[in-house]
Amino acid sequence: MAVTDSPSSTEPIDPKMEWHKTVCVLCSNNCGVEVRLDDREITRIRGNKAHVASKGYTCEKALRLNHYQNNTSRLTSPMRREADGTYTEVDWDTAISEVVAGLSGVTEKHGKRSLMYYGGGGQGNHLVGAYGSATRRALGITVRSNALAQEKTGEAWVDGRLFAAHTHGDFHHAEVSIFVGKNPWHSHGFDEARRVLKNIAADDARSMIVIDPRRSETADLADFHLQVKPGTDAFCVAALGGILVQEGLINQTFLDENTVGSEPVVAELGKVDVADYSARCGVEEDLLRAAARRIGSADSVAVLEDLGIEMAPNSTLVSYLQKLLWILVGSFAKPGGMTTHSSMAPIFNYSMARREPLTPVTGSQIISDLVPCNEIPEMISSDHPERIRAMLIESSNPVHSLAGGPDWRQAMKDLDFSVVIDVVMTETAREASYILPASSQYEKVEATFFSLAFPDNTFTVRAPILEPLEGTLPEAEIHARIVREVGLYNDETIAPLRAAAEEGIEAFGVAMMTATAEHPELAGVAPVILYETLGQTLPEGMAGAAIVWFSAQQAARKYPMAVRAAGIEGDDASLGNNLFQKLVESRDGVVFTRHTYDEAWDLLKTDDKKIQVDIPELVADLAALSGLPTDHRTEEFPFILAAGERRSFTANAIMRDPSWRKRDAEGALRLSPADAETVGVESGGRIRVTTPGGTAVAVVEVNETMQDGFISLPNGMGLDYSPAGGNPEATGISPNELTTADWRDEYAGTPWHKHVPAKLEAVG
Ligand SMILES: Nc1nc2c(c(=O)[nH]1)N[C@H]1C(S)=C(S)[C@@H](COP(=O)(O)OP(=O)(O)OC[C@H]3O[C@@H](n4cnc5c(=O)[nH]c(N)nc54)[C@H](O)[C@@H]3O)O[C@H]1N2
Ligand SMILES: Nc1nc2c(c(=O)[nH]1)N[C@H]1C(S)=C(S)[C@@H](COP(=O)(O)OP(=O)(O)OC[C@H]3O[C@@H](n4cnc5c(=O)[nH]c(N)nc54)[C@H](O)[C@@H]3O)O[C@H]1N2
Ligand code: SF4
Ligand SMILES: [Mo]
């Protein structure tokens, strides 16, 4: 059944030798790959040279994907938790009816706000969340969150105020690339990252600036490594902005023509005491000035921030300051610079509101409809009348991935009812009332909405390469069954739509419009209706792609010229239909929009299509910066721990089988040679690390890239697993057994995981 590109020859080919096109799901890049299969085993993997975005590129991690597809943690039956804590296998019909009864029971008693949805997709799977939105609407769920609300919501708040849109850089062409708390060598974040970094390093006309306390693999290739003291980025980036203003390196024409509100910002940066801030962040003033002058002299500048600042002190302020760097020099809407971009479905809902709506119980800002997820345990384990009492968790493992593991386990126990939809038994599933087993990302249609490229933007629909594992269902089917059980539609309701779909896609589009206008309750659950109607007419195995029809129609409506410029023909609905058909047919990804640089301005969502430079709250923070501490260490905790570093063999919590790692099996604690000597440890030895949140013993790696006083542990470790399928055991340290939720950003509630005070003791 697998929909793959079949060879043109009529010779029967050995199925084991056939290449099947899909993507790697281990990071947001989703590089196109080709795989060979032996029955259900993925035996060979190579980059797909024909893929429109990755062009054959992969990193070492893709080659180990079989560990995701085939492992002993896979779930194969719905399960119900009994009073004694054990699980009983139940059939799908029973599971769906009991899950719906359980979730609606809670909302009937305590109101809709007592039920929360968490997750909806990871690095490789966003259609999950799209189908999950039907269940959310069917059950009236309004409180929701996902992992973005512990990393990117601070940046999203800033983007909302500046652009009401997302911006991304063109690192393939930028004259100056700046990475702030970001190590693309390992974490990627743009296509062909290692090739691009090496090209920049080899080109005398281009420069790279890396701001990182560690001499990361990326910093090693940089022209300017601004090796800040951990958590002092606000001082470093403010100093860079201060130098641009004070040395007259800003592009006043750009500011006058394309922005409003730059005056108070420029005035405040004019006051920055560069020498003082250089001392506070630990970077030589001469180096800061040289880097700022390089930015000021460049034709194009692109900046990328990530967790090194998003999970550290002053994170929202640093997001703002780094964006000011490229705004001040006018590096927008040109090759090598920053741009807005099209999207098949936006990842954030940007708001220009000064104050966002507030969460139940904790009263914090809800940015982009996502409650700050590190507050969820507080919202559950509370006696507040509006507390969260039930959760539906899908494609996420918050007990492992969010701050304060012990608080999360308690919170799961404090819920009246909980459901987890996952492909494997996880730390979160183990605490749930019901577990629903999903088919893996290689057993169903999937796609992500991570594509951020400009002027050409791409989208990849993946076909299944394997049949669903017995006992599992794709999420599209799970959500369709839930919505049917809620009673929002039945075969009779959707019969006319099915008939129209049989007639053809044009007829279907018209019928869908009429149906949702006549039955508004169907509009909310449109994803599963599409799956059940249009989906059933798609090639075998592709029903789950039906929801992409909606995105294709939206894209055609929002960017008709750019979609046509990308080679798709048609007008209005037919343009969307043709785009959809191309997406469903192509296994190499599709360029769905081709913009001109001028059009980047049209993609800004501000009313006047200008950048709104002044964010008064953050300008006030900048003004008050000199009063803030630069060092959060104490006598008791003399180290700063980065809890969750990306390394060669880390992939969030996607890979449970520890044997997928070729090196660093346990995930070593890295520390500098000087610190190793002080503590009295050597590589391969054991060390106890203690933080305000917990304590654990790690294997040691003395590492000369570490700054003294700064230590790190990898992310994604500490997942329990049993190679034989018996009692599982954890390998390495689960970083969130050492973190707490109260150490967080004041705007977005994002946790300071890269800045955890810690102490170290050698273990005998
Ligand atoms: N291999 C691999 N790749 C991944 C992932 C994975 O698990 N493994 N996960 C994906 C996901 S979900 C994400 S969000 C991204 C994250 O990608 P990154 O943010 O790039 O990854 P990290 O290693 O967490 O942090 C980046 C850098 O921040 C530095 N840092 C620590 N403290 C500070 C500080 O105070 N200031 C500054 N300036 N830097 C600091 C660290 O030394 C590190 O080099 O990676 C994605 N890609
Ligand atoms: N201390 C610390 N904690 C961190 C970080 C850190 O740096 N330090 N990084 C944070 C970041 S940036 C992120 S993004 C989060 C990520 O953490 P999570 O949001 O928990 O996401 P993942 O680890 O990607 O795991 C997602 C789950 O999806 C499941 N899954 C895989 N495929 C499918 C599928 O097809 N269907 C379904 N239903 N499930 C599937 C996997 O089995 C896994 O359990 O972790 C965060 N946690
Ligand atoms: S982990 Fe490597 S191969 Fe996989 S998507 Fe990311 S960059 Fe590509
Ligand atoms: Mo992330």
The enclosing domain of 656 has a CATH number of 2.40.40.20
- DSSP secondary structure, 687-740, as one string: EEEEETTEEEEEEEEE-TTSPTTEEEEESS---EE-TTSSS-EE-S--GGGS--
Q: Are 117 and 392 in contact (CB under 8 A)?
A: yes
Distance 650 CA to ligand 3 centre (A): 11
Looking at the structure, do residues 28 and 60 belong to the same domain, yes or no?
A: yes
* pLDDT of the residue at 214: 98
Ligand nearest to the Cα of 232, by number: 1
* pLDDT of the residue at 9: 57
Ligand nearest to the Cα of 712, by number: 1
Atom of ligand 3 nearest to the CA of 62: 3
Identify which of 48, 54, 59 to mutate to test ligand 3's pocket (most ligand atoms within 8 A of the CB): 59
The enclosing domain of 249 has a CATH number of 3.40.228.10
* pLDDT of the residue at 2: 44
pLDDT tens for residues 565-602?
999 999 999 999 999 999 999 999 999 999 999 999 99
- Whether 268 has a pLDDT exceeding 70, the answer reads yes
Q: Are 113 and 641 in contact (CB under 8 A)?
A: no
27 lines ligand 1 (CB under 6 A): yes
291 lines ligand 1 (CB under 6 A): no
Pairing of strands 611-612, 259-260: parallel
* pLDDT of the residue at 28: 97
Looking at the structure, do residues 274 and 186 belong to the same domain, yes or no?
A: yes
Is 131 in a helix, a strand, or coil? helix
**Residue 702 is assigned to a structural domain of this protein:** yes
Atom of ligand 2 nearest to the CA of 397: 20
Distance 187 CA to ligand 1 centre (A): 6
pLDDT tens for residues 92-138?
999 999 999 999 999 999 999 999 999 999 999 999 999 999 999 99
58 lines ligand 3 (CB under 6 A): yes
Q: Please give the single-letter amino acid code of residue 609.
A: K
* pLDDT of the residue at 10: 67
Q: Are 171 and 190 in contact (CB under 8 A)?
A: yes
**Residue 51 is assigned to a structural domain of this protein:** yes
Across the range 43-57, mean pLDDT stands at 98
For tokens 């360029």, the residue is 591
Ligand nearest to the Cα of 743, by number: 2
Q: Which residue, 69, 76, 30, is CA-closest to 53? A: 30
Ligand nearest to the Cα of 735, by number: 2
Alpha carbons 182 and 171: distance in angstroms, whole number: 13
The helix (run of H) or strand (run of E) holding residue 179 is strand 176-180
- Whether 172 has a pLDDT exceeding 90, the answer reads yes
Atom of ligand 2 nearest to the CA of 398: 20
- Whether 8 has a pLDDT exceeding 70, the answer reads no
Looking at the structure, do residues 720 and 667 belong to the same domain, yes or no?
A: yes
The enclosing domain of 50 has a CATH number of 3.30.200.210
Identify which of 150, 194, 212, 633 to mutate to test ligand 1's pocket (most ligand atoms within 8 A of the CB): 212
Token pair listed for 627: 């009063």
* pLDDT of the residue at 521: 87
- Whether 3 has a pLDDT exceeding 60, the answer reads no
Looking at the structure, do residues 39 and 2 belong to the same domain, yes or no?
A: yes
Q: Which domain holds residue 741?
A: 632-763
Average pLDDT, the chain: 96
Looking at the structure, do residues 53 and 182 belong to the same domain, yes or no?
A: no
Identify which of 736, 754, 755, 756 to mutate to test ligand 1's pocket (most ligand atoms within 8 A of the CB): 754
Looking at the structure, do residues 44 and 172 belong to the same domain, yes or no?
A: no
Distance 250 CA to ligand 2 centre (A): 41
Distance 418 CA to ligand 4 centre (A): 24
**Residue 212 is assigned to a structural domain of this protein:** yes
70, 96, 117: which is the final residue of a domain?
70
Distance 28 CA to ligand 1 centre (A): 13
Distance 604 CA to ligand 4 centre (A): 25
For atom 3 of ligand 3, the residue with the nearest CA is: 58
pLDDT tens for residues 388-397?
999 999 999 9
34, 49, 70: which is the final residue of a domain?
70
188 lines ligand 3 (CB under 6 A): yes
pLDDT over 90, % of the chain: 96
For atom 29 of ligand 2, the residue with the nearest CA is: 395
Quick one: pLDDT band at residue 12, thresholds 50, 70, 90? confident
Q: Are 116 and 373 in contact (CB under 8 A)?
A: no
Burial bucket for residue 1 (CB in 10 Å: 0-12, 13-18, 19+)? exposed
Q: Which residue, 481, 579, 580, is CA-closest to 537? A: 580
Looking at the structure, do residues 180 and 257 belong to the same domain, yes or no?
A: yes
Looking at the structure, do residues 619 and 748 belong to the same domain, yes or no?
A: no
Token pair listed for 122: 């990871």
Looking at the structure, do residues 618 and 647 belong to the same domain, yes or no?
A: no
646 lines ligand 1 (CB under 6 A): yes
**Residue 246 is assigned to a structural domain of this protein:** yes
Burial bucket for residue 401 (CB in 10 Å: 0-12, 13-18, 19+)? buried
Distance 123 CA to ligand 4 centre (A): 8
Is 398 in a helix, a strand, or coil? helix
* Residues 457-488: b if buried by 16+ CB within 10 A, e if exposed: bbbbbbbbbbebbeebbbbbbbbbbbbbbbeb
* Number of compact structural domains in the chain: 3
Alpha carbons 476 and 534: distance in angstroms, whole number: 13
For atom 15 of ligand 1, the residue with the nearest CA is: 187
Spatial neighbors of 453 by CB under 8 A, at least 6 apart, are 53, 168, 191, 341
Looking at the structure, do residues 621 and 696 belong to the same domain, yes or no?
A: no
Atom of ligand 3 nearest to the CA of 27: 6
pLDDT tens for residues 416-448?
999 999 999 999 999 999 999 999 999 999 999
* pLDDT of the residue at 11: 72
Q: Are 431 and 417 in contact (CB under 8 A)?
A: no
Q: Which residue, 137, 305, 163, 183, is CA-closest to 237? A: 305
Looking at the structure, do residues 188 and 60 belong to the same domain, yes or no?
A: no
**Residue 171 is assigned to a structural domain of this protein:** yes
pLDDT tens for residues 661-690?
999 999 999 999 999 999 999 999 999 999
**HSE (CB half, 13 Å, CA atoms) of 599?**
16
**Residue 275 is assigned to a structural domain of this protein:** yes
27, 47, 70: which is the final residue of a domain?
70
Q: Which of 1-10, 220-229, 544-553 is predicted least confidently?
A: 1-10
Atom of ligand 2 nearest to the CA of 446: 35
**Residue 548 is assigned to a structural domain of this protein:** no
Identify which of 31, 49, 195 to mutate to test ligand 3's pocket (most ligand atoms within 8 A of the CB): 31
Atom of ligand 2 nearest to the CA of 147: 19
181 lines ligand 1 (CB under 6 A): yes
715 lines ligand 2 (CB under 6 A): yes
Please list the residues that pair with 80 across neighbouring strands. Answer: 88, 434
* CA-to-CA dists, residue 574 to 499, 529, 556, 578, angstroms: 19, 20, 9, 6
* pLDDT of the residue at 1: 41
Pairing of strands 417-422, 434-437: parallel
62 lines ligand 3 (CB under 6 A): yes
**HSE (CB half, 13 Å, CA atoms) of 44?**
10
Quick one: pLDDT band at residue 356, thresholds 50, 70, 90? confident
Identify which of 187, 288, 304, 711 to mutate to test ligand 1's pocket (most ligand atoms within 8 A of the CB): 187
**Residue 456 is assigned to a structural domain of this protein:** no
- Whether 552 has a pLDDT exceeding 50, the answer reads yes
* pLDDT of the residue at 202: 98
Alpha carbons 177 and 214: distance in angstroms, whole number: 18
End-to-end Cα, the chain, rounded Å: 57
List helix spans (H) across 346-396: 376-380
For atom 8 of ligand 3, the residue with the nearest CA is: 31
- Whether 4 has a pLDDT exceeding 60, the answer reads no
Quick one: pLDDT band at residue 614, thresholds 50, 70, 90? very high
Looking at the structure, do residues 57 and 159 belong to the same domain, yes or no?
A: no
